[in-house]
Amino acid sequence: MAGIRISGLSKFYGGKESGMAALRDLDLDIRDNQFVTLLGPSGCGKTTTLRLIAGYVTPDAGTIRVDDRIISSVEGVAPPDRRGMGMVFQNYAVWPHKTVFENVVFGLKLRKVPAAEARRKVEETLALVNLGGLEARLPNELSGGQQQRVALARSLVVEPGILLLDEPLSNLDAKLRERMRVELKQLQRRTGITFVYVTHDQSEALALSDQIAVMHGGRLQQFGTPDEVYRRPANKVVADFMGIVNFVPGELRSGPGGAPVLVVDGQELPAQIGAEFHAGDAVDLAVRPENVKLSRVREGADQLTAKVTEHTYLGNLSEYWLELASGAVLRAQTHPLEPFDVDDEVFVSIDAGECNVFHRTAAS
Ligand code: ADP
Ligand code: MG
């Protein structure tokens, strides 16, 4: 129920002179009532960003506004308890010797909410996180998922406008993590609270978010919907982080009217090519495995030829490693019916409209 506007935000641990930026020049506009995820590998600055928003850390540059009020800048930081924010951590620190009720009512007691009203709010909140009826239990009488829900309830009971969550599901087993995903999404929708959620798990980010901020090396790489960051990654780092991707070498040749045309393995492919590309450029085509199709016989003029070098059965999918005529390797995932064998010669269709062209760089 509050938006967050971040401008030019930087944080250097050990002082600005150290040059060790945990976060560099972040601009991010988080709208009210959104589920926004900060996604990136370990050490990319996600927790630092969350701690800056929470007010535990002072920035070295930039500002954070909540509903147009500056709550953080180099000049100072509004105290964390004055920001209308709740925070949930990975290590859901619930008090082991207090009951569920006592754990959850804590923030209301601090705020001197009358007992009857506090009881009602605790009960409402516990119902919201599916813990109704468990008020009298101690944490060690609860499962890991239930304990994490207690931590959630403790943050929610004081009705924050913004909830900050730092990898809250990473201590749960895979099955429970998936169920809690759905519950968190529903919780955000039902409450209308702005969620800022941190994870290194791209599938979690895709499943939960309205918008994903992909971070790498202290810098924002892209801010967009799950579909945008998955299907139209801004650069190779994002393409690589969001899922399996092949970078297939290609070149741009001058086509009709001088517009560059993509050629891979001697074959023209109808990829979208941006205005920043020119004939003669060395490029990589970013191809997701699900956009590759195999056939035993030639089915179209723009198919490539390849040899199957590896086959992995994944139950719902078959994965193939292919070697193109040029020697480039291509990973493909297809329906497991009609399997191919290692050493089979196959025809390969790449859905070029779903692929993205990037400049080839020395590092890749
Ligand atoms: P993430 O949450 O994405 O894993 P962090 O925000 O925790 O990343 O860390 C970003 C970078 O800042 C890392 O290189 C980390 O080592 C460094 N860092 C984080 N906290 C501190 C700190 N208190 N003192 C010094 N360096 C830190
Ligand atoms: Mg972290």
3-class DSSP string for the chain: CCCEEEEEEEEECCCHHHCCEEEEEEEEEECCCCEEEEECCCCCCHHHHHHHHHCCCCCCEEEEEECCEEEEECCEECCHHHCCEEEECCCCCCCCCCCHHHHHHHHHHHCCCCHHHHHHHHHHHHHHCCCCCCCCCCHHHCCHHHHHHHHHHHHHCCCCCEEEEECCCCCCCHHHHHHHHHHHHHHHHHHCCEEEEEECCHHHHHHHCCEEEEEECCEEEEEECHHHHHHCCCCHHHHHHCCCCEEEEEEEEECHHHCEEEEECCEEECCCCCCCCCCCCEEEEEECHHHEEEECCCCCCCCEEEEEEEEEECCCCEEEEEEECCCCEEEEEECCCCCCCCCCEEEEEECHHHCEEEECCCCC
Report pLDDT for 363.
Answer: 56
Return d(Cα 303, Cα 102) in angstroms, integer. Answer: 65
What is the tens place of the pLDDT at every residue in 163-174? 999 999 888 888
Nearest to 294 by CA among 323, 316, 266: 323
Report pLDDT for 318.
Answer: 93
ipTM for this model:
0.98
Question: What domains lie within the chain, and their CATH numbers?
Answer: 4-239 (3.40.50.300), 244-359 (2.40.50.140)
Nearest protein Cα to ligand 1, atom 1: 43
Asked whether 216 lines ligand 1 (CB < 6 A), one says no
Nearest protein Cα to ligand 1, atom 25: 13
Centre of ligand 2 to C-alpha 167, Å, is 7
Asked whether 199 lines ligand 1 (CB < 6 A), one says no
Closest atom of ligand 1 relative to the 48 alpha carbon: 6
Report pLDDT for 79.
Answer: 79
Residue 321's beta-bridge partner residues? 310, 331
Angle at 354 between CA 200 and CA 210, to 5 degrees: 40
Nearest to 195 by CA among 8, 45, 53: 53
Centre of ligand 2 to C-alpha 168, Å, is 11
pTM of the entire structure? Answer: 0.93
Nearest protein Cα to ligand 1, atom 26: 13
Report pLDDT for 19.
Answer: 72
Asked whether 246 lines ligand 1 (CB < 6 A), one says no
Q: Are 60 and 16 a contacting pair, CB within 8 Å? A: yes
Ligand 1: residue of 13, 24, 42, 199 to mutate (most ligand atoms within 8 A of CB) is 13
Closest atom of ligand 1 relative to the 44 alpha carbon: 3
Return d(Cα 217, Cα 215) in angstroms, integer. Answer: 7
Ligand 1: residue of 10, 11, 47 to mutate (most ligand atoms within 8 A of CB) is 47
Centre of ligand 2 to C-alpha 166, Å, is 7
Asked whether 18 lines ligand 1 (CB < 6 A), one says no
Centre of ligand 1 to C-alpha 71, Å, is 22
Low-confidence residues of the chain, pLDDT below 50?
Answer: 364
Q: Is 343 exposed, middle or buried (0-12, 13-18, 19+ CB in 10 A)?
A: exposed
Centre of ligand 1 to C-alpha 27, Å, is 19
Closest atom of ligand 1 relative to the 50 alpha carbon: 6
Report pLDDT for 336.
Answer: 80
Tokens of 39: 């996604």
Centre of ligand 2 to C-alpha 47, Å, is 4
Centre of ligand 2 to C-alpha 48, Å, is 7
Report pLDDT for 364.
Answer: 47
Centre of ligand 2 to C-alpha 44, Å, is 8
Which ligand has its closest atom nearest to the C-alpha of 41? 1
Asked whether 45 lines ligand 1 (CB < 6 A), one says yes
